[in-house]
Amino acid sequence: MSAAAPLRIGVVGWGAIGRVVGTALAGGEVPGAELTRVIDNRPRPEAPAPQCPIAEALEVCDLVVEAAGQGFVREWGARILASGTDLLVASTGALTDEALAAELHAAGPGRVYFTGGAVGGLDLLQAARTMGELTEVRLTTTKLPATLEQPWMDAGLLERMRTADRPVEVMCGTAREVPARFPRSTNVAASVALAVGDADKVEVRVVADPAAVLTRHVVEAAGPHGHYRFEVNHAPDPGNPATSQVVPHAVLRGIGALTGRKGQIL
């Protein structure tokens, strides 16, 4: 029996996530997968695969890995799936837009996948909700103040964040509201919402802490069959502190699951 053809992958975005994912694929670190194209809005002569526009990549790729931000998902998500190419979304914050989420789920014949990124326990939350509705779900995300600054913040809030010597609560809202206000640094909130099945049920606190050498995510949930608490503390990416170093490796794990790599926890 001949070996199956490798999964041909296009990586969109050659930044903190895409560069690690693409380099690992090019180095053969995920058996059964190969880096076929790189899609980025800036020239990337160092990339280990040909660079091309997304429309061209759809002609030669089986899977597109999005590592370019929520805007790309909104603009291209449904079109990628309609072309028959599968899509792995890292910027899950885009899916808190109900209309976009419905559009992606209805599109095809390509299939859409999501990565949990920098948080764990999502598989358990998905299992728990099948036994009965989760009654409480809370996420507290704590990061360095500079990684949380946003254009909509007023001068008073920015001053409190920049001069803080202790944790400062920056925003409290639902998992539908928070990712829209922090599009590059709160995809974890959207991932928890996807696992729970209701973005409005997840209460999210965003905290700026000048002592947050590690990025912290604490998920707490309760339902008729149990109580759950998950805490993760990640080293931020040196080049992009808004992203945890583990995120591209979560993406690579997802690709490995799609290629049928043995021994994976699904």
Active-site annotation, residues:
217
User: Measuring CA to CA, which residue among 89, 93, 125, 124 is closest to residue 190?
Assistant: 93
3-state SS of 17-83 is CHHHHHHHHHCCCCCCEEEEEEECCCCCCCCCCCECCHHHHCCCCCEEEECCCHHHHHHHHHHHHHC
Which three-class secondary structure state does DSSP give residue 181? Answer: helix
| Contact between 170 and 110 (Cβ < 8 Å) | no
**Which amino acid is it at 116?**
G
CA separation for the pair 118, 38 (Å, rounded): 23
DSSP category for residue 213: S
| Contact between 70 and 114 (Cβ < 8 Å) | no
